[in-house]
A = this chain, B = another copy of it.
């Protein structure tokens, strides 16, 4: 039996449009409704025929849903939740896909008191944005973290679990605060650092922009991919997960300062020891199937 019969997705960018595509593939009898605040995105979704009912408002899109998934940037969750509050059926489950969870959960609980709220974070994505960037297999073999509030209805949690399993994901359940600390180190800090170094390189006076681009294969180009991620979403992630990001950043800065000192004083052993240790982390990631084992991510040469 399907976990949900009528799914409504609000926000049809990379993640939202991938969800509706994946539902079509894996649960073809599910009725899909959707809405996006951007008329250009709505027009594109209509052309692509991604949903059964494309509504002109978020409220209209959720009226008959038994699962509502908000696929909007973390900073917009509160406003969208308030917008749909009067229209969400009482027994519907409301979820989201945000990359930070404690602030988002608080916004959902405040806007939708007494409703079934089961936030989710599929740890998947690309550097592209918009409805054309989505694809049905985006969540396959990837982790999806659920962060239900204390006291959440176990049946609602189980239904959302089953929904993401059918999209191909493995499920982990944890509390929102722990999620935010785990993702601060595995996702948010890496993005912050990538954005920073790409900015630093762009601002060089004596090394030209053209040289930075030309010789980016030395490592820099990897960072530019992450630093091409959606600016609105990432602004919201850093602002909504402020405390955990600042703490991880502090740890990173301490470690970087230690390496800086090792370089200044010519302490090769300290560098070599760390570089050997980090190599083992890569091996673990490949052993657990969390990355493409081909050299250079399988890039075409």
Which residues of A are interface residues toward B (Cβ below 8 A)? 75, 99, 123-124, 126-128, 133, 135, 137-138, 140-143, 145, 172, 178, 181-183, 185-204, 206-207, 209, 211-229, 231-232, 234-236, 238-239, 242, 245-246, 248-249, 251-253, 255-256, 259-260, 263-264, 266, 268, 271-272, 274-279, 281-285, 288, 290-292, 294-301
* Across-interface contacts of A284 in B (CB, < 8 A): 209, 213
**Does B278 lie within 8 Å of A217, measured CB to CB?**
no
A-B contacts, 12 listed (Cβ < 8 Å): A182-B211, A182-B212, A185-B220, A186-B216, A193-B197, A197-B252, A219-B226, A228-B283, A239-B263, A245-B263, A253-B253, A298-B298
Chain B residues with CB under 8 Å of A192's CB are 256, 259, 263
Residues of B within 8 A of A295 (CB): 126-128, 133
Instruction: Compute how far the CA of A218 lies from the CA of B189 in the bound complex, rounded to whole angstroms.
Output: 10
Q: Give the Cβ gap from A127 to chain B, nearest Cβ, in Å.
A: 7
Establish whether residues B215 and A182, one from each chain, have CB atoms under 8 Å apart when the complex forms: yes
Q: Which residues of B contact A221 (CB under 8 A)?
A: 285, 290-291
Interface SS of A by simple majority = helix
CB of A23, distance to nearest CB on chain B (Å): 17
Whether A291 contacts B225 by the Cβ 8 Å rule is yes
Q: What's the nearest-Cβ distance from chain B to residue A2, in Å?
A: 24
| Given A246-B260, A248-B200, A276-B231, A214-B298 contact (CB < 8 Å) | no
Residues of B close to A281: CB separation below 8 A: 198, 201-202, 212-213, 224, 227-228
Docked Cα-Cα span, A2 to B192, in Å, equals 48
* Residue of B199, B214, B235 touching A272 (CB-CB under 8 A): B235
Residues of B within 8 A of A220 (CB): 185-187, 190
Residues A227 and B181 in contact in the complex (CB < 8 Å), given A214-B172, A272-B235? no
Q: Which of B195, B212, B217, B251 contacts A259 (CB 8 A)?
A: B195
| Nearest neighbor of A190 in chain B, beta-carbon distance | B219
Chain B nearest Cβ from A82, distance in angstroms: 20
Quick one: closest B residue to A185, CB to CB?
A: B201
Is the Cβ of A200 less than 8 Å from the Cβ of B299? no
Known: A194-B219, A203-B251. 9 other contacts (CB 8 A): A198-B278, A200-B255, A201-B281, A202-B281, A213-B281, A224-B291, A225-B296, A228-B283, A229-B279
Closest to A273 in B: B231
Docked pose: A169 CA to B295 CA in angstroms: 20
* Residues of chain B within 8 A of A249, CB atoms compared: 256, 260
Of B142, B198, B268, B291, the residue contacting A239 (CB under 8 A) is: B268
Tell whether A195 pairs with B275 under 8 Å between CB atoms, given A185-B201, A214-B290, A215-B123: yes
Measured CB to CB, the nearest residue on chain B to A202 is B281
